[in-house]
Amino acid sequence: DSGVTQTPKHLITATGQRVTLRCSPRSGDLSVYWYQQSLDQGLQFLIQYYNGEERAKGNILERFSAQQFPDLHSELNLSSLELGDSALYFCASSVDGTSDDTQYFGPGTRLTVL
Amino acid sequence: SQQGEEDPQALSIQEGENATMNCSYKTSINNLQWYRQNSGRGLVHLILIRSNEREKHSGRLRVTLDTSKKSSSLLITASRAADTASYFCATDEKAGTYKYIFGTGTRLKVLA
């Protein structure tokens, strides 16, 4: 158990809908990352937050948004969902978000868009 | 091709054999990390090697880094069935953008 929690574990929804994925980092970690992993694909970095502020942005679609709250939990909002958004979404956390920091991954949320 | 490409894509070996996976990347980096992922689960950090290091060991793992060739290798010695997983390398961009780029991974299967 990494100490990172993600809810829900599974999510099934229809095209055009909007969903929110939630992540609670390890106690003491200030940085949160979001990744998307499609079938047989590597991890695509979406976005990173550090202590409530956006720090780095990757291949995140405009239909997606995220935020990190004062209690350091984070939410990833996915809207106008398309079939291609079906994937595993991982959240990771690290102590200070620097590049030599170990990232601890949550168990993921499996999103299925029908 | 993307930053952090692993080779081979899939590898199948017998228990007790050594497994070697390679990772190539494009840009200058500060460090490179290897992660492991059991099927459908979150990634687990294995080892970090800095750009000024050439080799690092951790238990049955040995990682090498050749910055002139922009490549790294992960060697798992005396493999076990429990080592069956996907292995990813992850690199940062030296420009300090805090982005971490993961490759597509090597799927390792260790046969008992």
Tens of pLDDT, residue by residue over A88-104, are 999 999 998 887 888 99
What pLDDT is recorded for position B61? Answer: 97
Contact B92, B100 (CB under 8 A): yes
> Burial letters for B21-48: b for 16+ Cβ neighbours within 10 Å, e otherwise?
bebbbeeebbbbbbbbbeeebbbebbbb
Residue among A41, A90, A107 minimizing CB distance to B104:
A41
B13 inside 8 A of chain A by CB: no
B99 inside 8 A of chain A by CB: yes
Residue B37 dihedral angles phi and psi, to the nearest 5°: -135, 115
What pLDDT is recorded for position A22? Answer: 98
Angle at B60 between CA B18 and CA B25, to 5 degrees: 75
Chain A with chain B: Cβ pairs closer than 8 A: 62
Contact B99 A105 (CB under 8 A): no
Nearest residue in B to A58, CA atom: B99
pLDDT, tens only, B50-91: 999 999 999 999 999 999 999 999 999 999 999 999 999 998
Residue among A41, A98, A105 minimizing CB distance to B43:
A105
Contact A103, A92 (CB under 8 A): yes
pLDDT at B4 over 70: no
Give the separation between CA B62 and CA B64, rounded to whole angstroms: 7
Q: What is the largest CA-CA distance in chain A?
A: 39
